[in-house]
Structure 1
């Protein structure tokens, strides 16, 4: 492993779904980064300098190239190492289908999920309407998971990691409904991930990054601090 100070820098937020999926890809691909967990009310000057948009995740590579989108970071991680074929590189058609599915959930589903979460949060009468809108996408995943263990096949792919954090959010909106909903395959898929060592490590609570002197290495190995 490179010296910790020479590793790429990842600005992250523990419960942000985009940051979660970036960390999962980094973990699964066996990469190591300097983890800088931030608080939104006190964003580091360096992060704002390299990425004025001010949202996480942000990955600063050793050559000072900045990756500002979670999917971009995931592709970078698996571009470094992908022994389990998360990018499905050996099947161009399936890979294209996978990326299309991720895009669908990043755009259409995410918009409907935010409306559902907001309606529930503010006790809006439109909760059912927005839940039903989300269910159209859940039915799609349920069908896929009835055919194989993961979304694309019997092996995990980038799609599983990319979509999982949003399904995790949905499962918390109306917990009782979710537990009784007609989506047993989704529940098993999500629960298997949430109970995994990988997810436990990805969701570990690390100290907030405050100064250049605070160094935390995030990888599949035990973090160094």
Structure 2
């Protein structure tokens, strides 16, 4: 039995985690970060989501680590079987650089020391890199979805919806890639709304056949 605490649908980990832990009973507990339960801090002093508690009581509290844990257990579509250094490099760059730039682009009014156009230029630098990777094939590393596609998708999606018209016209390959992923059975299957968890409850259980 596995438990995960989340706010909303943290796409980066849930896409892989819920899909690839097959024949397991999972408790999904949705919380609000503005009202974090003590249980969250009991599991991880960071108090951030997602947090995955394993059957033996151990805890994983980083999205990428949760994804890799899930793929190590079960990776039937070979998402993480090759190009390890390149895949890890892109995902690390996303976590260490792009996410910060994305926050400043999305919430540019909070960062008035630079203009909106400056923040857009910062995200464009990395989006151009992604767009170039997609020119030879439909996904980041060719014709098949891989770990990198799933890890980057939620952040690219957030960025796109700041100004979708500009995004699609500036990064056509990336826009088509995003549409393919949003229309996939995988994406649609995990877009489930969960009720806010009450600590007196057990959470919502999901069985994957």
TM-score over 0.5 for the pair: yes
Q: Is 2:18 aligned against 1:27?
A: yes
Alignment length, in residue pairs? 207
CA drift of 1:114 comes to 1.5
Gaps of 5+ in 1: 1-6
Gaps of 5+ in 2: none
CA drift of 1:218 comes to 3.8
Contact 1:102–1:163 under 8 Å retained in 2:
yes
Q: Which residue of 1 aligns with 2:143?
A: 154
The 5-angstrom pairing of residues 30-49 of structure 1 reads 30-31=21-22, 32=24, 33-49=26-42
CA drift of 1:104 comes to 1.0
Q: Is 2:2 aligned against 1:8?
A: yes
| RMSD (Å), alpha carbons | 2.0
CA drift of 1:216 comes to 1.5
Q: Which residue of 2 aligns with 1:166?
A: 155
2:47 counterpart (54, 58, 76): 54
- 1:46-76 Cα offsets, whole Å, 9 max, x none, are 2210112111000000011100100010011
Name the stretch that deviates more: 209-218 or 55-64: 209-218
Name the stretch that deviates more: 24-33 or 117-126: 117-126
Contact 1:13–1:37 under 8 Å retained in 2:
yes
Q: Which residue of 2 aligns with 1:114?
A: 103
Q: Which residue of 2 aligns with 1:3?
A: none
- 1:171-195 Cα offsets, whole Å, 9 max, x none, are 11123322332x1111111111112
- 1:94-118 Cα offsets, whole Å, 9 max, x none, are 1111111111111111121112112
CA drift of 1:11 comes to 0.3
Q: Which residue of 2 aligns with 1:4?
A: none
1:74 counterpart (55, 62, 67): 67
TM-score (norm 1): 0.84
SS at match of 2:139: coil
